[in-house]
Amino acid sequence: MKIGSHVVLCLIYFSTLTFFPHEQAGAGEPINLTAEEYVLMPGEYLVNVLRNTYNIPDHLIFNEYLNLIKDINPDIRDINNIKDYQTLLIPLNLPPKNKKYRIIIKDKGAVPGTTPKIREQKKLSVPVPESKRMLSLEKVNINRIIQEGLTPLLLESGGILQQEGIHEFPYFEDSQLSLDTSTYPIIQFANNTNVILDYHNRLPVEIKDVIKSNWNNYIIVPYGENRGFESILDQLIKEMNFHKVIKHGDPLVIGQDVLIKIVPDWIIYPDVSSNKVFVINLVHSPAQKTLTPIRNYLREYSVKLVDIDLFEEKGEESSPVKEDTEEETGLSELSTMDFTDKLAFVDGILDLAGQDYLQNMPISVYSRDNTGLALKITIDRTFVKNGKKHLIYLKNKPSKLLGILKKQGFPLLILASDEDAVTTIDKLLDFLNIRYKSPIIRFSASRTYQENKIWVNIPGIFFETAGNKVLLTHHSLNPPLISFLKEKGVEPVIYQ
């Protein structure tokens, strides 16, 4: 059943954080309120998310859900003015009025999942935007960041990174100053600017003064203490003299039917005559790095993605990151379904749902032993669910026979020959009592949903049953997208 008006019927029992409504009537065990986390992106409004993503009707949104969301998200002061990137708990079922309840957090991961996550505190923390964090130099490995993140930009800008050998300064006052670049890496830019990376603050103050007073084309970074790492990147990027640099700007949306939405830290346009775009994002762990297939997909649109992992612990020796050129063979195999053969199409949906069924099965409605008459009706597809035989009609049967089947209490699904594929899928999944999402499915482009900066939006219908995740779509998917979905554990199926 679709998440929305039917969501009240879905009760998923997991684990434990008890909330008490403002009014309580009586005691008793708290009931389970299932919720999942949702990150509100720029330009999104809570009411539209409830209406379009969770398919909740307006009367429930305004009469029930908004008040409940405010109760279970105590950090929201004004439900009508929610900050961008705020992580919200969205309830998937409504508790009875005046009853205490405990919240069960469903870990979405990249797509709706089934793994429970117990919220142990009542007050939810508000995520701090990346731009407002002071990233200490002590917590980052600048050598690695230069190799993994800045090298592509340096190559694009014509800069040179010197990390080996001795750098000699011009002769001055009968003196010669030199630096070991393995200790003090130097970036030489095309405009003759030289940036000395003194990230351990090893240069003595008097030497810094000598450099500053004798050579105005040398810059020491960082020049001072308590400087945030982000400001250092700002300075280095500025020295690269690109055509256009946008920091913390509007989201970048790429694609046509399948849309990739990027909330970047920096967008860099190297020159006015090129379509090439660099996107730089600061991430906090390897799990937040963008998966390789999406990197390859973006490269097809001339977008080079650079994830700078600030807190990954690595040894002093760090090898440069390899380009994301791994083959998508094998992983890019794709299942297809032909809607022109409607019976075969229905069989395909039942198979994907893991539902056993019988074809063209005669159903005995009346037995001669009991009534003196016998009637058998051949049904296109039958299956047993929850101990009850379910019937699917795909042919035009006489209405009186249908009435007899209904009178006998058989759950009956009638599929008209002129129904489109989406209607057929919706009706089948509802009949199978399977929750699903449509029409746009949003996936995190990394291995985590927390503070994710890139989303992949694919039109289709997503459902999960018996541990299998399935995405049905009528849009074509190229090999990187297919590999991405399979890396996410999702089986993509194209219907035509």
Instruction: Tell me which CATH code domain 129-241 carries.
Output: 3.40.1350
The 10 Å CB-count burial string (b at 16+, else e) for 342-371 is beebbbbbbebbebebeeebeeebeeeeee
Q: Domain ranges in the chain?
A: 7-127, 129-241, 360-418
pLDDT at 292: 92
Sign of torsion over alpha carbons 297, 285, 310, 88: positive
Question: Is the CB of residue 256 less than 8 Å from the CB of residue 479?
Answer: no
Q: What is the H or E stretch that residue 343 is in?
A: helix 342-352
Q: Which residues contact 339 (CB under 8 A, 6 or more apart)?
A: 345, 421, 424, 495, 496
Using CA atoms, how far residue 57 sits from 12, 264, 315, in Å, is 21, 33, 54
Neighbours of 186 (CB within 10 A): 16
Q: 349 near 415, Cβ under 8 Å?
A: no
**Is omega for the bond preceding 57 within 30 degrees of 0, making it cis?**
no
CA distances, 37 to each of 3, 11, 205, 285 (Å): 15, 17, 50, 20
The DSSP 8-state label assigned to residue 175 in this structure reads B
- Say what the pLDDT of residue 166 is: 93
In this prediction, the residues of the chain whose per-residue pLDDT falls under 50 are: 1-27, 108-139, 223-224, 314-323, 325-331
Closest CA to 125 of 64, 37, 22, 18: 37
Dihedral (C-alpha) 83, 84, 85, 91: value to the nearest 10 degrees? 60
| pLDDT value for 63 | 83
pLDDT number for residue 320: 39
CA distance 476 to 210: 62
Contact 456, 443 (CB under 8 A): yes
pTM of the model: 0.65
Output phi, psi for 342, to 5 deg. -65, -35
Could you report the per-residue pLDDT of 88-97, keeping only the tens digit for each?
889 988 888 7
Strand order in the sheet with 358-366: 358-366, 375-385, 388-393, 412-414
Burial class from Cβ neighbours inside 10 Å (0-12, 13-18, 19+) for residue 422 reads middle
| pLDDT for the residue numbered 296 | 93
